[in-house]
Structure 1
C-alpha cells in the first residue's frame, strides 16, 4: 500500500482507545542518543484492506 492510497475505516485513535489495558506492553524501541527509548506497544487485527481491482479483501 502506498502512502498516497486512501485508507477507509475507523480512525486509529478510536481503535487504540478500545484496546484493553492488558493489551499494552512497555518495551524498548532501542538505544537513543539519551539512552534506552521505551514505547507502549499493542497489536490488533484490523479490517481487511480492499484492493482497487478485486472483489475480495486481499490484505490485513
Structure 2
C-alpha cells in the first residue's frame, strides 16, 4: 500500500509519540464545537466573516 509512504511513523513510544497525530484532530474539534462568545457564531463562520470584512474593497469619501 502507498499510504505507508505518506503517513509518517509515530516518532516515539507512549503519549508523546501520538502528539503529532492529535494536533489535527484537536483543530478539527475546535472548528466543530467552539463558538464566539459575543456573536454565537461557530469558529469557522466567524473567521470567514472576519476575513471577508478585512479584505473588502473600501471606498473613501
* TM-score of the aligned structures, taking structure 2 as reference length: 0.19
Q: Which has the larger radius of gyration?
A: 2
* Larger fraction in strand: 1
